[in-house]
Amino acid sequence: MKNILFPTDFSPNAENALNYAIEIARKVKGNLILFHAYSVQLIDPNMPAEIYLSAYQEEEKSAKESLEDLSRRITDMNKDNSGNNLFTTDAIVTQGLVVDEVLSVIDDFKIDIVVMGTHGASGITELILGSNAASIIESSPAPVLAIPQNAVYKEMLNLVYAYDDIKSGLPSFHRLIEFANIYGSEITLLHIIESNKNTEEMNKNEFEKIKGSSNYDKIRLELVKEENVLEGINDYVNSHDVDVLAMAIRKRSLLDKIFNRSLTKKMAYHTKIPLLALHKV
């Protein structure tokens, strides 16, 4: 895991997520790519071309200056005791729709992980319900580490992977191990067994197979019986020391269930625990 993409809109929430991106870059001695996409809205179709061009140029200039300032600030921090750089940086500004541009950079630069901030009073809920970050999570082939606005950086030593189907989630789990290796993290595979299902034995058997083939020792299984998946994950996170909640993303996944608009109960960890979204491949 070497190429870390940090999309930013220069907001306080993005600034908070930057702490995570920098620390990961330091850990892996990787390349931190700072990225901003801008666009100029054509409000009036009769607007003279020279006015639109001027607005476009001004937006481009402002975006480049802001990203250059950010890059310089990171460079000043990016030194070991001998004055050597701990990681490399690149700064990219493009014009276009944020989601499309981010996905293009992921492909062009072979990004290993995207680190970005969330926003809104309800944190990750707003993220999932329609922001740019939600679309990136849904479409990105690379893992996305989404940082809630009130999260405070600490080493991510305790990862919880909440899964719905242990067999189909296996490829995502292997990508989780790549992330866990950065910190030497403990991984807990968490499965909520709903009251009308009897899958405990199957999950235990599949877990033993996974553990045996993973070559990663710090893995354990946690099966929790609960009528409601949302409440089960919420209760577990609140009662345990969890640094990152990881989930696999696909259509009608566990994540969809949790963040569906019909679920009104807020999850207490929205504003404090990063979410690692992993695509099922």
For 269-274, what is the mean pLDDT? 64
- Domain residue extents for the chain: 1-150, 154-281
Report pTM.
0.84
Is 154-281 in the same CATH topology as 1-150? Answer: yes
Pair 102, 133: CB distance under 8 Å: no
For 33-48, what is the mean pLDDT? 76
In CATH terms, the superfamily for domain 1-150 is HUPs (3.40.50.620)
Q: Is the dihedral of CA 37, 104, 144, 180 positive or negative?
A: negative
Least confident piece of the model among 99-103, 128-132, 187-191, 236-240: 128-132
Least confident piece of the model among 7-16, 47-56, 59-68: 47-56
The predicted-structure confidence for 91-101, as pLDDT tens digits, reads as follows 999 988 889 99
Pair 60, 95: CB distance under 8 Å: yes
Q: Strand, coil or helix: what is 173? A: helix
> Rounded distance, CA 49 to CA 54, Å?
9
Can you give the pLDDT at residue 264? 26
Can you give the pLDDT at residue 83? 80
Q: Does domain 154-281 fall into CATH 2.40.50.90?
A: no
Mean of the per-residue pLDDT values of the chain: 80
Q: What angle (nearest 5°) sits at the alpha carbon of residue 260, between those of residues 259 and 262? A: 125
Can you give the pLDDT at residue 28? 95
Tally Cβ neighbours within 10 Å of residue 141.
10
* DSSP string for residues in 89-123: EEEEEEES-HHHHHHHHHHHTT-SEEEEE--STTT
> Rounded distance, CA 234 to CA 33, Å?
33
> Rounded distance, CA 239 to CA 228, Å?
17
Torsion angle of alpha carbons 62, 67, 71, 77, nearest 10°? 90
Can you give the pLDDT at residue 266? 36
In this prediction, residue 157 has a pLDDT band, given cuts at 50, 70 and 90, of very high
